Structure 1
């Protein structure tokens, strides 16, 4: 008598009618405790009841809108495997552009000091720390829960040249000065309809929105960063696709030089940077 136990391909086919195929693959791989690539080589394998139940529960939650990263508890970023929770923003590929631009301004074989403001899961700080092992990287966040995730991610990825402090933006930096300060602050305007759509509905609001024009956090960082930058030190800020001109103006007014906006891989304004004279 032929078994009626569903196969991997059966579950993926049914799930793909409810959610995106790639999401279904990630969730089934997570339920099976296997890498996603395993599914292709084992498409005809039967899936036992316990794994099916885990997958069905994840599928229902994803169909209701919960982000895959929160359901699986992990998100890849740069060369890192990061734990994420609803206390942290989900790291996104476009933020890797900020890391690239920061690394281009840091020595590869000499000590330097870097700060990451509003670190969340620790993505930016840990990516820089991994690529620049001689750097001392300080990561700050106002959220105790987010910092706990970032500390766990440093341990998870074996990174020991990053330190974590609780505080709002530059407040946790004391009187220290850094060769580079980076941040991916909230930059969506309060009341923006996108905040009620897709994955954003489930991410921490304080990590997404900042003031009526989305620039309140950026204004504060631009105002306070010069006191924490070494001479010729750099400030790099991620922002929305339509905010480059406004952020350049803020930096110029604060006395930064060599101010410029760099695009992401899709050609949209993504990071504005400037140097303390």
Structure 2
């Protein structure tokens, strides 16, 4: 390695990426924490390392989400593995976890169901915060379930994963205390599907192919047969769907129906109790 070998400091000035993304990609290439990177920005780099960085840089410049390039995303204070087979966990979905935890009475081994678990972020987070709870999670995708199981194992969470479409995955399970879900709720005509990170995420986890209410409707209609007395169902939904979801819950016999706002002030999670 010669004194003319490339260094991070020199490459940073030539990369079109934002500085933070530049550093995150180099952390991925070198397998080092950020503090190491900052302290070694004049160390020589090998041609293979530079080539690997440029591969990742090209993917990012093409619009691919950082979470897929890095293979992970933080959620509820923990790192979860992600891939293009699942949605990228988002901060607003943490609200659904917070609500579920508030619903679980202390000292009681509650039974919780996460429908359409994807990466497992919701189910695993609940299981880790309440290790006394019996947590179940379903998904129709084998790839998603494999990733969710991997996340549960690496983080030390007890979750039973089942394959199937919504309640079809649970032929012998009922009397849940809490059911939660972040189903596909974006209308197929929504222009956001063609923008940003969403372009790279699995379409089936984003939209029902119609008005965005089909999955929400199916989950509400099937919940009564799966909930125990006084059990609760809460779901994430689109920014303009809170009123429609409240109507679905009321028509299905739910009471104490409420919508909760995320940090942006948007009604993001709606649910109620089944008597």
Global fold match (TM > 0.5) = yes
Unaligned stretches of 5+ residues in structure 2: none
The whole-number CA distance in structure 1 between the counterparts of 2:211 and 2:268 is 16
CA distance in 2, matches of 1:244, 1:95: 15
Q: From the superposition, tell whether residues 37 and 182 of structure 1 become closer, same or farther in structure 2 (CA, over 3 Å).
A: farther
Q: What secondary structure, in the 3-state scheme, does the structure 2 residue paired with 1:230 have?
A: strand
1:161-200 alignment, distance < 5 Å: 161-175=158-172, 176-200=174-198
Deviation, 1:95, is 0.6
Residue 5 of structure 2 is aligned to residue 5 of structure 1? yes
Q: Which of 124, 127, 134 is the aligned partner of 1:126?
A: 124
- Verify the 8 A CA contact 2:123 2:137 in the aligned structure 1: yes
Alpha carbons 1:79, 1:127 under 8 Å: kept: no
Q: Report the equivalent of 1:115.
A: 113
Distance in 1 (CA, whole Å) between partners of 2:106 and 2:48 is 48
Give the alignment of 1:1-277 within 5 angstroms: 3-15=3-15, 17=16, 19-159=17-157, 161-175=158-172, 176-277=174-275
* TM-score computed with the length of structure 2 as normaliser: 0.95
Contact 2:253 2:274 in 1 (8 A): yes
Contact kept, 8 Å, 1:144 with 1:166, in 2: the verdict is yes
The alpha carbon displacement at 1:242 in A equals 1.2
Moved more, 172-181 or 256-265: 172-181
* SS class of match (2:225): helix
For 2:237 and 2:13, the matched residues in 1 are separated by 38
Greater displacement, 165-174 / 6-15: 6-15
| Residue correspondences, number | 273
Deviation at residue 78 of structure 1 after TM alignment = 1.1
Q: Kindly provide the CA deviation profile for residues 137-164 of structure 1, in whole angstroms up to 9, marking residues without a partner as x.
A: 00000111110110111111121x2110
**Kept after mapping to 2: 8 A contact 1:108/1:132:** no
CA-to-partner distance for each residue in 1:81-118, whole Å, 9 max, x for gaps?
Answer: 21111111111111111111110111243211000000
CA contact (8 A) 2:175 2:229 kept: no
Unmatched segments (≥5 aa) in structure 1: none
Which runs of at least 4 in structure 1 moved beyond 6 Å after TM superposition? none
